[in-house]
Chain A
Amino acid sequence: MLQGQNNGNNGEGKEVVIIGAGPAGLTAAYELCKADVQSVVLEKDNIVGGISRTVNYKGYHFDIGGHRFFTKVKAVDKMWREVLVDGKFLRRNRISRIYYNKKFFHYPLRATNALFGLGIWNSFLILLSYARAQAFPQKPEETFEQWVSNRFGKRLYRIFFKTYTEKVWGIPCNEITAEWAAQRIKGLSLLTAVKSALLAGQAKNKEGVIKTLIDAFDYPERGPGMMWETVADIIQRKKSRICFETNVEKIHWTTSRITELEIITRGRKEMIQGTHFVSSMPMRELIQKCEPAVPEAVLRAAEKLSYRDFLTVALIINKPNLFQDNWIYIHDSEVKVGRIQNFKNWSPHMVPDPNKTCLGLEYFCFEGDGLWTMSDGQLIELATKEINALGLARASDVEDGAVVRMPKAYPVYDSVYADALEVVRGFLSSIGNLYLVGRNGMHKYNNQDHSMLTAMLAVKNILGANYDIWGVNADQEYHEEIKSSGKSESDELTLLASTQPKVPRRKVHGA
């Protein structure tokens, strides 16, 4: 499976320590194995995969957030196919809807479904609101709310944007910058729009096949964790090590190098040395654990990096089928749940009993807030109450439940993050044998494939290349659709970078 290929680079004498066994950390270890370089992976949890893990509760498997396997980069896709062979990937059709006002709407949106679902009067009001926004746009356009309202009208904004965006990010939409909206919502040009309207239905029959996450995606039989558990097996067979339940306590450094790490594994303290260190641990923690302490300004900057956290309440329901969707977005401010996954619809192998269904109710929160600090029992009770209120399942059918808390699920781009990140990056760039990878390692809202890419590039750099890992994601836009065509690897790396979503930035008052 793995072939030792050094690509002319020298892997000899390299001892690599990798912090974190998520997609980035394990990809780094996997790529190093390919170059015949052994590594040690330090994982504070007792399971691999990071946020891309699959949790197993009494034989019910659930995925933290729902991870579709689709990438535009051959290198990443190639690795997935190398790791999971023999039909372990399932091709799944995507079905997802929005729950709003006690009704369901297809997502991606379909005009007729939306208009009929909202009712004639409401649709008329939406059109009026749209016309009003077109005739009298709000000026100046500074916030997410203003930006979206100006383009779609206030009513559509309230229906499809406000509630969910605020649930996910915990920031009122009138405090998120318009710039983020412009980055995230890129429309087609008018000419392209007209052409696609005129040629509707014909494009898919043409030469350029449209690959899209919107219609279908691949999914491992037992969720994304299956991928990372297999990678973990592969790298361990190649004599690399994964140390579970291992916390990095101190990072000893000199002016230009990390010398060793102080780790604690199940209460046992140990020092670990290496020639190169790959870190996917949250950047804030990395800085705070440096020994001797980093300059005060860097420490203060690191403290300004913040995160949005996430928890999933899995409910086991005594019904063979509840709904056909893979997931449903909940645009209802009456309930706290943001999204509901139906794991059985991702893969039938996720549920051990075909007569049962397992739903994942996802709550976006901040570590330490009211939701986060609720006990598991209280959270299961809340989720049961909400699933009943939404009419998706009866409370009496809920048999069991489990809670998974995922701290630091999303890096937050608030008004202070950019300056703080620059300071921290500036400092860390002086440490020559440290490579930052992954979502939290770089404080970047990377998807799974992008996290993998950063690790691939880091390994290339360890082996002698000189890629700018930070440069690949700058000022790009996000589109899930792309025509397949022959592209060079560097084009593809750039292309992958272009797939990474932006996260909102809070508006600075008075700015």
Chain B
Amino acid sequence: MDLNGILALTSNRKPKSMEPSLTPSEVASLGASSASDELLIQALAKLDRVALGIAVGILFGFSVLAATVILVIKGGNQVGPNFGLLSQYFIGYSVSLQGSVIGLTYGFISGFIIGWLMAFLRNLFVSAYLHAARLRAGMSSLNDFLDNP
């Protein structure tokens, strides 16, 4: 369970599949009263790991596909000598039409992993921040507890 899950659990609210760092019910309960509140809530909204993975994967995959196809169309004595070095990482890749499809697949997979990790780390950071803020708020509520036990 990641921190967002824990956060949702402690809030007695079930995590949603497209949950933000603030869950929808939490967002609703926040009762944003101003545009700045809305902005803050949006800024803290949780990134969907799969969605960002797919988005970055598509971007990377089609970038590799497009770059490969352009190099193939450009032609020359030695087609894409530098880009071809990708084969060091993408086993089976070459600067060719067939390679462009393989590059699309590799690009998508690596982009997906990068996007997923970016979303995961960002959510982790925001969750930790929210936890700290929540704990601090909890501690501030103790400011008068002992004075009037």
Contacts and interface: CB of A to CB of B under 8 A. Distances in A.
Nearest to B1: A135
B133 interface: yes
B137 A190 contact: yes
A192 B140 CA distance: 12
A447 B144 CA distance: 13
Contacts of A186: 141
Contacts of A168: 149
Interface stretch (B37-45, B65-73, B88-96): B37-45
Interface in A166-208: 168-169, 184-198
Contacts of A329: 146
Interface string A321-349: 00000000100000000000000000000
A111 interface: yes
Given A165-B149, A185-B142, A185-B145, A193 B136 contact: yes
A193 B26 CA distance: 14
Contact of B141 (A135, A187, A198): A187
B134 A152 contact: no
B137 A107 contact: no
Interface residues on A, range: 35 or more
B149 A169 contact: yes
B44 A214 contact: no
B135 A184 contact: no
Contacts of B139: 109, 111, 152
A24 interface: no
Contacts of B129: 197
Given A192-B137, A193-B134, A164 B149 contact: yes
A214 B133 contact: no
A165 B146 CA distance: 8
A269 B130 CA distance: 68
Interface in A459-511: 478-481, 501
Contacts of A161: 145
A98 interface: yes
Contacts of A501: 144, 148-149
A188 B140 contact: yes
Interface of A: 98, 107-109, 111, 130-131, 134-135, 137, 151-152, 160-161, 164-165, 168-169, 184-198, 213-214, 329, 447, 478-481, 501
Interface of B: 1, 6-7, 9-10, 22, 26, 30-32, 37, 40-41, 44, 129-149
